[in-house]
Structure 1
Amino acid sequence: MRPVRVAVIAAAPQVRACLQALVDATPALRFVGSASDSETLADCFAGSLPDVIIIDLEPEASDALRSGFEAALDATQAPLALVLLTDETDIDWVHEALPDNVMAILSRDATPGEIVAAIEAAAAGLCVLPPDILARLLAGRKPPRPLASAVHIEALTLREIEVLTMLAEGLGNKEIARQLAISDNTVKFHLSSIFGKLGATSRTEAVMLGMRHGFIMV
């Protein structure tokens, strides 16, 4: 497999140098360029785009840099994966970022191992979030809507449970009738009652619903 092509956007030269050193030290990654802003970096690609771009968002420059790389990415019209290093804690902003190309959000003090793992995950199409941000996102989710009405299942008789158990074992009507010493018509009567109570339309569905509601164990 070819290495993941990684580019870096960071306003601070020392941050760009650290991230480049990290990428260079990882055999699965290949450093392809860096710049202080997205427009400058985009001019360097000349049609050969990276797989992942790491973007360091400094708190005081986050708004300008954010709008800058969004404009540059719109111009490329390429499905780049972004890894953001940010101290941003606004969950509304995270909600806005995730639907776009942002595949990973890490703290700016993330460890080298965490950054490398995020790059590889983003290249594979996976989303990476810190536990605290993930917990806050999940906490903000709306609870699922309750069902309009609960389905009431009428209890089966002991004989019906016997018939359903044999049905689950793969026995046909005649074999069930023989083992229970009843007629074929009686077996059909029990099956009709079982189907009606469980809301089943086939023998297989009746067995599945019987298992789901705890009437039989297989």
Structure 2
Amino acid sequence: MSDGQMAQMSPVRVAVIADSPQVRVSLQAIVEMNPALKFAGSAADAGMLADCLAGSVPDVVVIDMEPEASDALRAGFDIGHAPLALVLLTDAADSDWILDALPGDPMAILPRDAMPGEIVASIEAAATGLYVLSSEILGRLLAGRRPPRQTASGVFFETLTLREIEVLTMLAEGLGNKEIGRQLDISDNTVKFHLSSIFGKLGATNRTEAVMLGMRHGFIMV
């Protein structure tokens, strides 16, 4: 068995930062209910969590961002002095300070009332190196980092990532979500995140339309 296969079989180690003890308990329960995840510890802030982990670095840190708690965001970046995947639960996801503070590491941003399934899916996505962002945040980030492409009709659309092009190509081949996941060695939830991003960028409402638009814009050749 290869090292990559062994790593994939290992559960994702998840730590929690939340000021509220009740929130910490709730997030711990969500993590412990999923066999693909392993709870690593929790604390009220990053410093206390680092002490709790005693040098061990989790794969993903979930941070509950209470109102006016923006200083806690950057504090969560240096746990163990290693790159981290972060899942932020915040009611101010569209605030400019969130955009300014986004690190280069994988991250998910969800509302604080997100459903347990959404939190778990975001943890899994961040652990595989993906961003999970609202369409508003994604649009603002892309607008600041690269120009959109323009069709002959003058309609602008966002450029697909290489992984999204892979997913779209498999979609054009008639593969379902599970088969795409198996071929790319990613979870069903991750496939769904990619499809959602593809639909949003291309302005598609279904799989067939996404394939047609992908062919029209030159992303795939069938």
TM-score range, shorter-chain basis?
0.5 to 0.7
The CA deviation at 1:93 is 2.4
Which range moved further: 123-132 or 93-102?
93-102
SS of residue in 2 equivalent to 1:59: coil
Unaligned runs of 5+ in 2: 1-8, 151-222
User: Which of 72, 75, 78 matches 1:68?
Assistant: 75
User: Which of 19, 29, 41 matches 1:33?
Assistant: 41
Larger Rg: 1
User: Which of 82, 87, 94 matches 2:86?
Assistant: 82
Partner of 1:169: none
Partner of 1:4: 12
The CA deviation at 1:15 is 0.6
Partner of 2:113: 109
Count of residue pairs the alignment pairs up? 142
The CA deviation at 1:140 is 5.7
Question: Residue 75 of structure 2 aligns to which amino acid in structure 1?
Answer: G
The CA deviation at 1:82 is 0.9
- TM-score normalized by the length of structure 2: 0.57
The CA deviation at 1:18 is 0.6
How many Å separate the matches in 2 of 1:6 and 1:50? 6
- CA shift digits 1:107-150 (9 cap, x unpaired): 1111111110110011101111123333444466664599xxxx
Contact 1:91/1:136 (8 A) holds in 2: no
Contact 1:86/1:108 (8 A) holds in 2: yes
How many Å separate the matches in 2 of 1:55 and 1:67? 11
Partner of 1:119: 123
- TM-score normalized by the length of structure 1: 0.58
The CA deviation at 1:100 is 3.4
Change (3 A) 1:41 1:80: same
How many Å separate the matches in 1 of 2:74 and 2:139? 27
Which range moved further: 18-27 or 93-102?
93-102
Partner of 2:6: none
Contact 2:56/2:80 (8 A) holds in 1: no
User: Which of 24, 27, 30 matches 1:19?
Assistant: 27
Partner of 1:92: 96
CA RMSD of aligned residues (A): 2.4
Change (3 A) 1:103 1:145: closer
Change (3 A) 1:141 1:115: same
Change (3 A) 1:8 1:143: same
User: How high is the sequence identity, in percent, across the aligned residues?
Assistant: 63
How many Å separate the matches in 1 of 2:138 and 2:148? 18
Question: Residue 25 of structure 1 aligns to which amino acid in structure 2?
Answer: M
Change (3 A) 1:49 1:141: closer
- CA shift digits 1:63-83 (9 cap, x unpaired): 33224334xx1x622111111
Unaligned runs of 5+ in 1: 147-218
